[in-house]
């Protein structure tokens, strides 16, 4: 942490909540929040893993309260398990939390047996797995669950540390894999929630890989 962390953390939460307002009122089709610190490791009572506030979880709660949404989905493709988001919604069937993550790896949670009220879906990836396995697992498990859930709003915990060049993990995704998952999630959002997507930056620690991956993600969200 630094002397600027508090301000940055409040702005990060504020950005995602502002994106909820813009997307829910039709002022934006979708949104990407280029924020740090990330959020998905922060539990309701515990800062953890670079995360001070759980930006996406707070935005989901905000959306539920202010726009009376009954079904919100959060898809988390950061290479680490979002223990904080899972903890925030563990027994809340109106929020679907689906995560793909390297396992075993930090923070040690995210087993497929952690299912909450049936609303938690954990899909482990083994070190060294490539986009082929990533796409197969999304196609077989997470995307069908998302379609069955029929979310009214889709939030993305968009971490790019599953990139092959990332120094913190050992999954071998490339930019095209991030384009693919973005397109698949957009397709689902188009079917069920008028294309409403709010994506928030989580991890990503090779700055060149992060920049290239975020650019692909944002261009895809923009329909480019
Ligand atoms: Zn991460």
pLDDT 10s digits, 21-62:
999 999 999 999 999 999 999 999 999 999 999 999 999 999
What is the sign, positive or negative, of the torsion defined by CA atoms of 81, 87, 91, 96? negative
39 Cα–ligand 1 center, Å = 10
CATH number for position 165: 3.40.800.20
Of 126, 146, 139, residue with least CA distance to 181: 139
Angle (CA) 23 187 97, round 5°: 70
Which residue out of 40, 41, 80, 217 is catalytically annotated?
Answer: 41
Residue 148 pLDDT class (50, 70, 90 cuts): very high
What's the chain's average pLDDT?
98
Q: How far is the CA of 217 from the centre of ligand 1 (A)?
A: 16
**How far apart are the CA of 170 and the centre of ligand 1, in A?**
11
Total domains, the chain: 1
State the distance from the centre of ligand 1 to the C-alpha of 107, rounded, in angstroms.
10
Query: How far does residue 67's CA lie from ligand 1's centre (Å)?
Result: 29
What's the 31 CA to ligand 1 centre distance in angstroms?
Answer: 20
Q: 94 pLDDT band (50/70/90 cuts)?
A: very high
Q: State the pLDDT confidence band at 138, using cuts at 50, 70 and 90.
A: very high
Instruction: List the structure tokens of 105.
Output: 């790896």
Q: Is 66 a catalytic residue?
A: no
Contacts of 140 (CB under 8 A, 6+ apart): none
Coil/strand/helix, residue 180: helix
Domain of residue 176: give its range.
5-221
pLDDT at 146: 98
Could you report the per-residue pLDDT of 184-210, keeping only the tens digit for each? 999 999 999 999 999 999 999 999 999
**pLDDT value at residue 17:** 98
| CA 159 to ligand 1 centroid distance, Å | 6
The alpha carbons of the chain give a radius of gyration, in whole angstroms, of 16
């Amino acid at each position: 942490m630094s002397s600027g962390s508090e301000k940055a953390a409040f702005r990060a939460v504020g950005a995602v909540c502002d994106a909820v307002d813009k997307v829910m009122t039709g002022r934006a089709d979708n949104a990407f929040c280029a924020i740090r610190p990330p959020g998905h490791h922060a539990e309701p009572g515990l800062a953890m893993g670079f995360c001070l506030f759980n930006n996406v979880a707070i935005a989901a709660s905000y959306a539920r309260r202010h726009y009376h949404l009954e079904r919100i989905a959060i898809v988390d493709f950061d290479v680490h398990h979002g223990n904080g988001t899972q903890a925030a919604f563990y027994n809340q069937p109106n929020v679907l939390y689906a995560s793909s993550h390297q396992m075993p790896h930090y923070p040690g949670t995210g087993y497929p047996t952690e299912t909450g009220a049936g609303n938690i879906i954990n899909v482990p990836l083994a070190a060294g797995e490539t986009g082929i396995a990533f796409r197969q697992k999304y196609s077989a498990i997470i995307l069908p669950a998302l379609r069955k859930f029929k979310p009214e709003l889709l939030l993305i915990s968009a971490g790019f540390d599953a990139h092959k060049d990332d120094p913190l993990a050992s999954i071998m995704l490339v930019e095209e894999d991030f384009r693919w998952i973005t397109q698949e999630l957009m397709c689902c959002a188009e079917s069920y929630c008028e294309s409403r997507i709010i994506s928030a930056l989580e991890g990503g620690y090779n700055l060149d890989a992060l920049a290239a991956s975020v650019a692909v993600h944002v261009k895809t969200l923009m329909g480019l």
